[in-house]
Structure formats: structure tokens, C-alpha cells
């Protein structure tokens, strides 16, 4: 499971200020902290940066490469800035991201080929948000993968992203993204890679509810075959949960439960909570979260209190 | 005729039964359904949906003339109006304290208490009291109404996320029913029920108002939210199991289809009939979406909807 650290993001006002002031120390520290917490890739979201994107991305890449040799993910809608970043990167980078529109595919897929980069490809078209697993699979099979093949981008460099939507309002889409990931992994041999913007699942949910939703959803997605995720590596519990799954650590009741959930999704079965000790609040909250993510219980901000 | 086997769903949940009135007044119980609306062959529907007639505490302004004419002089006096509404077949009276609105007179607790006393004395039906829908003023006049009607088990609306604590606490103190109103959003509807229950309001003392969109003005959104709330309830979600109330009259009579006869296409037909159809269609649609109480305005619509309910209840 490859963790792509999301903390260098232009929406954060600290990051924005650091970019504007070319504050190397801040950016380097933010990169280092994420790597220390286990991020294998650092996402560099600089925003659209229409005018100064080329310069900013080049500066960001150089700045971070001064202190770490971690893999970088170049995150902007500005294709020229992406190319500048690719030229500056000493290691194979990620392009974040193309969607299924001809404009983005034409602009970015050739760059992935030319620089032998990984490319995140979203199952999103100009017609609106996908409303089912099938819609996501269709976008991947009709647009994303053919564009990669046409440019000679190998499948193992393509990271299909099913476009995670929030459980608060799009509750029926949560399992659709899980099923899309499962299918993505069967679409070619060798299979394409998969990723997702994990925290989207809890967008517009109260801050205190978000970490658990993110963790439980990640376990379900990992079970379905997710190879990587864009995550907050400073969320210790989240990183510990990845550790539990990867080490198959069943030494705690929580570990046992997460592994049971993971195994259920790996087998494509239905999760059965009947053996879980519901008197343990931690386990009960996980089970309630599964039920919400599986759309068995209607989501409300207070779902854990019911 | 060949034998056709009707497919039946097996539901695990049912709608809470909520009683209004009693204790000397007539009582109306709504809810209790163990299936979708009017599917008696599938599950129990122990109570008929109720029809409430809306009464304002001030002479309405801007009402279409045919609606005003249907009530005549009683519009000037909420007690006479409520009495007349009872004669026209209302199961419940829904009193709107419109004069408390800052732009409609800005009346306060004293006036609210007097009006509620008067209306309760004028008839023996269960009462719903609705505030002016300005949260601070709702708190003031609904708390006054609550005290005035202590023990009469009226319904108080609306509780919204902003003011549910005050209204909810009044309901607990005086034994009333809280109307939880949310803006056509299923997750918020459930959340408000959770908050009210956390506060200590019993689930059997809550009605949900999902916010009504009239025909042509969001009816399908309201329908969809109500259908999904009811589905969640029937599959065992206790926090969506409250009966639903829809303010049909208020919404349909303010649309241009119910008011305007100038510069409208001839194919719209004659205004008087069109306006009645608007209210009736909105009401009957929402009854089929699971409404347990519809609040209406025109006596003819009341008659028509009661006949529809009779037929649907078999």
C-alpha cells in the first residue's frame, strides 16, 4: 500500500504563504515530517498556477530534493508546470492527474510516456459525477486505459482513481467506488494500479467523525485491491491501521476486526459483524461505520450515537 | 383470470405511533405503518393519515380571492376560523402564529398565549402550533404556546438545528410533540431526530417535516426524501421512524399557478379549478410518499383529500 502524503496542498493557507514567499524551510519540513510518518510519495498540490506554475513546480521539486529522495507527485491542472516538475525530478514521479476528458488525456498521457512517469487517471468525464461502479469502469475501459495504451504508457504506471464521493449525501456511491477498484484490478494483464483520494469519503462530515470514516473505508478499499491512496500521513491512527493490515497484526481485538473486514472485502463477500463484541466501544464504532459505508444504515452526523 | 402471486416485502421496522390531543380533547394517533403507504396487503396500517387545516392568527394578506372567499369573515378571528375548520372536517387544527414575524406585527409571548388559549377553547380537536419561522421568535412564541397548552399534547413546530434545544425542552416540560423540520435532506432529517432524542425528547413525541415542495416546485425532491426516509424506517432505522407532516396548503397556494389568471397560457385552464387541483395533487402525491399529516388550506381540498384517503384506506 503506497501512501501518498497530501499535506502540501495549496488550500492550506500556510502552504500557500510558503509558496508565495518561496519559504524553502517550511516546504522541506512538511515533506520530511510526512516521510517520517511513512509517506512513500509526497503530493505537491500547487493549484492551477496559470502564470507561475512552471517556475513554482520546478522550485518545489528542487526544494524537496535538497532534503529527501522521496518520490514526488505533481498535482496541478497546469500541464506545462507538470512537465517542468517531471524535468526536475530525479526519480520517477506521479502525474496527478488526468480525467477522462480528451483535453486532459491529450495533454498529460504523452507526458507520462515521455518521462516514464506514473499517472493518476480519474474516472470522471465532463458529463458529471459517475453514479455507479459500471460508470466508473466504463470511463476506465473506454477512455483512460486506451489513452494510456495508445501512448505506450505501461499498465503498471497507470493509477486508476474511482473518484471517491462523500458518504454524507452520496451514500450509495461508497460501495460503488469499492467495487470499481475491485474491477479495475481485473481489467488487464498485467493489471493497472489503483489509488484514491481517501478523505473525500468524509467530506462535509464533522471533523471529529472524519478519521474513523477514513480508516474504515481504507480497509474496505484495500480489501478490494487498492494499491495506493492519497492520505494524511500525519494521522497516526490511519497509518497504524495500514500497518495492521500489512503486518496482519491480529494481536488486538481492533486488529482482528480490521483484518476480518479486509478479508471479507478481499473475498468479495458480505461483512458479518455477528461475532464482534459490541460492548467494546471502539469495536462498536467500527461496526457502525462499516454499516454506514455499506449504506445499510442511513448516514447522519450523529450515527455513532444511535 | 390467472392467479397472480403478489410479491410481498418483509419489513423489520415500523413508523412510531404519535398521539396528539387526548386528556379531554379529541385524540388523533398518526403513524404505526409497517409498510409503504396504503399497501395494506403487505403490512399493518393502523391509523389513517390525518388532515389538518391551517389557521393564521392574523387576517391573511395576499391570499387568492377564492381561498379567502371560501372562509369569509372567520379569517379575522382564529378561534372562529378554527371552529369553522372543525366543521369542515379537519382532524387537527394547525395554528400558525404569523403575527409574531418581525415584519407581520412582531407580537410576543403574551399574544401567543392568548391566541392559543382562545383557539383551544373554541374547538376540541388536537392542535399544532407553528411559529413564524424566525428562529428567535419561534423560541419565544412556541415556549409561550407550550405553557398555555400544558397537558393538551399539542405539536410545536418548528424545531430546526438552530433552536431544537429550546423547543425540545418545552415539549419535554409540557408533554408536547416536537416537529423537526429539515431542508429536504435525508441525512439532516435523521441527524435532527438524533439530536432531539439526545436532548431527551422521546421518539414517540417527534414528527418530521421534510420541507414541502409544491407541484412544480420541488415536489419530486420532497417525495424522494420521504420515500427514502420511510424505506430506512421500514428496514429498522429507529431514527427515521417518526411520522411525517407536510405543509401542503402553504406551499401550493403561493405558486403562480394557484394565483394568477392573467398572462398565463389558455391551456392552463380556469384558475379556480387549477388552484384546487394544485393543492390536491400536492397533497395526494405526498400521502403516497408517506405523509401522515397534510396541512391544507381550502375546504374543498380537505373534502377531496379526505375522500381520497377513504378510498386508499379501503
Task: Evaluate whether A86 touches A109 at the Cβ level (below 8 Å).
Answer: no
- Torsion angle of alpha carbons A295, A298, A301, A304, nearest 10°? -80
pLDDT at B2: 84
Burial class (CB in 10 A: 0-12, 13-18, 19+), A40: middle
Question: Does the distance separating the beta carbons of B237 and A302 come in below 8 Å?
Answer: no
Q: What is the mean predicted confidence (pLDDT) over A154-161?
A: 98
CATH number at residue B77: 3.20.20.20
Residue B249 to residue B301: CA distance in whole angstroms: 9
pLDDT in tens, A79-134: 999 999 999 999 999 999 999 999 999 999 999 999 999 999 999 999 999 999 99
In a domain, B2, yes or no: no
Task: Tell me whether residue B238 is in a domain.
Answer: yes
Average pLDDT over residues A247-258: 98
pLDDT over threshold 80, residue B1 = no
What local confidence, expressed as pLDDT, does residue B314 receive? 85
**Coil/strand/helix, residue A4:** strand
Mean pLDDT in chain A?
Answer: 97
Measure Cα distances from A266 to A1, A134, A217, B182 in Å.
14, 19, 13, 39
B187, A297: Cβ pair inside 8 Å? no
B185 contacts on A by Cβ (under 8 Å):
169
> Do B191 and A306 count as a contact with CB atoms less than 8 A apart?
no
Whether residues B188 and A302 touch (CB distance < 8 A) is answered with no
Mutate which: B191, B198, B237, B240, vs A, most A CBs within 10 A = B191
State how far residue B12 is from chain A, nearest Cα, in angstroms. 13
Instruction: Check residue A50 and give its pLDDT.
Output: 87
**Domains of chain A: residue spans and CATH:** 92-232 (3.20.20.20)
3 state DSSP class of A131: coil
C-alpha cell at A189: 494483464
Q: What does the radius of gyration of chain A's CA atoms come to, in whole angstroms?
A: 19
Closest CB to B198: pick one of A297, A303, A305: A305
Asked if A231 contacts A1 with a C-beta cutoff of 8 angstroms, the reply is no
Which residue range forms the structural domain that includes residue B286? 23-260+267-313
| Helix/strand/coil (H/E/C) assignment for every residue in B185-235 | CHHHHHHHHHHHHHHCCCHHHEEEECCCCCCCCCHHHHHHHHHHHHHHHHC
Task: Kindly state whether residue B1 falls inside one of the protein's structural domains.
Answer: no
pLDDT for residue A220 is more than 90 = yes
What is chain B's Cα-based Rg? 19
Asked if the structure places residue B298 within a domain, the reply is: yes
Residues of chain A with C-beta less than 8 angstroms from the C-beta of B198: 302, 305
Q: Which of A169, A171, A302 is nearest residue B195 as measured by Cβ atoms?
A: A302
* Rounded percentage of chain A residues whose pLDDT exceeds 70: 100
pLDDT (mean) for A169-179: 95
The answer to whether B123 and B93 are in contact (CB under 8 A) is yes
Beta carbons of B194 and A299 less than 8 Å apart? no
Contacts of A305 in chain B (CB under 8 A): 194, 198
Angle at B161 between CA B99 and CA A172, to 5 degrees: 130
| Structural domains counted in chain B | 1
* B63 falls within a domain: yes
Q: Which residues are within 8 A (CB) of B162 and not within 5 positions of it... i.e. 6 or more apart?
A: B135
Query: Quick one: what percent of chain A has pLDDT higher than 90?
Result: 97
Write out pLDDT tens, residues A6-32: 999 999 999 999 999 999 999 999 999
DSSP label of A127: T
Contacts of B187 in chain A (CB under 8 A): 168-169, 171, 298-301
B162 domain-assigned: yes
Within a domain: B16: no
Predicted confidence at residue A166, as pLDDT, reads 97
Which residue in B187, B194, B232 is closest to A305 by CB distance?
A: B194
* pLDDT (0 to 100) of residue B263: 87
Check pLDDT > 90 for residue A235.
yes
pLDDT for the residue B262 = 86
Average pLDDT over residues A41-46: 97
Q: Write out pLDDT tens, residues A47-60.
A: 988 899 999 999 99
Q: Is the pLDDT of residue B261 over 90?
A: no
User: What DSSP element (H or E) covers B140?
Assistant: helix B135-148
**Residue A211 C-alpha, separation from nearest chain B C-alpha, in angstroms:** 19
A-chain CB neighbours of B193 within 8 Å are: 300
pLDDT above 90: residue B78: yes
pLDDT tens profile B148-172: 999 999 999 999 988 999 999 999 9
Amino acid at each position: 500500500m503506497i501512501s501518498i502524503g497530501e499535506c502540501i496542498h495549496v488550500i492550506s493557507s500556510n502552504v500557500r504563504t510558503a509558496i508565495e514567499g518561496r519559504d524553502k524551510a517550511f516546504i522541506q519540513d512538511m515533506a520530511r515530517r510526512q516521510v517520517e510518518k511513512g509517506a512513500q510519495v509526497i503530493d505537491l498540490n500547487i493549484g492551477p498556477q496559470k502564470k507561475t506554475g512552471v517556475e513554482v513546480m520546478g522550485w518545489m521539486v528542487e526544494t524537496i530534493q535538497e532534503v529527501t529522495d522521496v518520490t514526488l507527485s505533481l498535482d496541478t491542472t497546469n500541464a506545462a508546470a507538470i512537465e517542468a516538475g517531471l524535468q526536475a525530478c530525479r526519480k520517477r514521479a506521479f502525474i496527478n492527474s488526468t480525467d477522462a476528458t480528451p483535453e486532459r488525456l491529450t495533454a498529460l498521457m504523452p507526458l507520462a510516456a515521455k518521462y516514464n512517469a506514473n499517472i493518476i487517471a480519474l474516472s470522471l468525464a465532463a458529463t458529471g459525477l459517475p453514479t455507479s461502479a459500471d460508470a466508473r469502469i466504463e470511463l476506465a475501459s473506454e477512455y483512460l486505459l486506451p489513452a494510456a495504451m495508445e501512448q505506450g504508457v505501461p499498465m503498471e504506471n497507470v493509477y486508476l482513481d474511482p473518484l471517491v464521493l462523500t458518504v454524507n449525501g452520496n451514500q450509495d456511491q461508497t460501495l460503488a467506488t469499492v467495487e470499481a477498484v475491485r474491477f479495475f484490478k481485473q481489467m488487464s494483464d498485467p493489471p493497472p494500479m489503483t489509488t484514491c483520494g481517501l478523505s473525500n469519503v468524509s467530506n462535509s462530515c464533522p471533523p471529529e467523525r472524519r478519521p474513523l470514516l477514513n480508516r474504515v473505508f481504507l480497509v474496505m478499499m484495500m480489501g478490494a485491491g487498492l494499491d495506493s491512496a492519497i492520505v494524511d500521513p500525519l494521522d497516526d491512527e490511519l497509518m497504524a491501521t495500514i500497518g495492521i493490515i500489512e503486518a496482519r497484526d491480529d494481536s488486538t481485538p481492533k486488529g482482528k476486526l480490521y483484518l476480518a473486514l479486509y478479508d471479507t472485502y478481499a473475498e468479495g463477500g458480505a461483512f458479518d459483524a455477528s461475532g464482534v463484541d459490541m460492548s467494546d466501544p471502539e469495536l462498536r464504532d467500527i461496526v457502525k461505520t462499516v454499516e454506514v459505508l455499506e449504506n445499510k444504515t442511513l448516514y447522519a452526523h450523529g450515527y455513532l450515537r444511535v | 383470470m390467472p392467479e397472480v402471486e403478489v410479491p410481498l416485502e418483509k419489513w423489520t421496522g415500523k413508523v412510531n405511533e404519535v398521539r396528539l390531543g387526548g386528556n379531554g380533547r379529541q385524540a388523533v394517533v398518526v403513524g404505526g405503518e409497517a409498510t409503504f403507504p396504503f399497501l395494506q396487503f403487505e403490512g399493518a396500517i393502523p391509523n389513517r393519515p390525518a388532515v389538518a387545516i391551517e389557521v393564521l392568527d392574523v387576517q391573511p394578506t395576499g391570499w387568492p380571492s377564492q381561498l379567502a372567499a371560501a372562509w369569509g369573515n372567520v379569517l379575522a378571528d382564529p378561534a372562529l376560523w378554527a371552529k369553522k375548520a372543525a366543521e369542515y372536517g379537519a382532524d387537527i387544527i394547525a395554528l400558525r402564529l404569523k403575527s409574531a414575524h418581525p415584519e407581520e406585527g412582531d407580537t410576543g409571548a403574551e399574544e401567543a398565549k392568548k391566541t392559543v388559549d382562545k383557539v383551544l377553547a373554541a374547538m376540541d380537536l388536537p392542535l399544532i402550533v407553528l411559529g413564524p419561522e424566525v428562529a428567535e421568535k419561534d423560541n419565544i412564541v412556541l415556549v409561550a404556546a407550550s405553557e398555555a397548552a400544558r397537558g393538551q399534547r399539542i405539536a410545536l413546530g418548528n424545531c430546526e438545528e438552530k433552536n431544537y434545544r429550546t423547543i425540545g425542552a418545552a415539549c419535554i416540560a409540557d408533554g408536547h410533540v416536537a416537529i423537526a423540520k429539515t431542508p429536504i435532506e435525508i441525512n439532516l432529517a435523521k441527524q435532527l431526530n438524533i439530536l432531539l432524542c439526545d436532548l431527551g425528547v422521546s421518539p414517540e413525541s417527534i414528527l418530521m417535516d421534510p420541507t414541502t415542495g409544491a407541484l412544480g416546485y420541488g415536489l419530486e425532491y420532497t417525495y424522494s426524501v420521504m420515500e427514502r426516509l420511510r424505506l430506512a424506517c421500514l428496514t429498522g432505522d429507529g431514527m427515521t421512524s417518526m411520522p411525517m407532516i407536510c405543509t401542503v396548503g402553504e406551499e401550493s397556494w403561493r405558486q403562480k399557478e394557484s394565483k394568477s389568471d392573467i398572462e398565463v397560457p389558455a391551456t392552463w385552464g380556469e384558475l379556480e379549478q387549477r388552484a384546487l387541483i394544485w393543492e390536491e395533487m400536492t397533497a395526494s402525491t405526498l400521502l403516497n410518499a408517506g405523509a401522515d399529516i397534510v396541512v391544507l388550506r381550502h375546504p374543498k381540498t380537505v373534502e377531496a383529500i379526505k375522500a381520497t384517503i377513504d378510498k386508499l384506506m379501503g
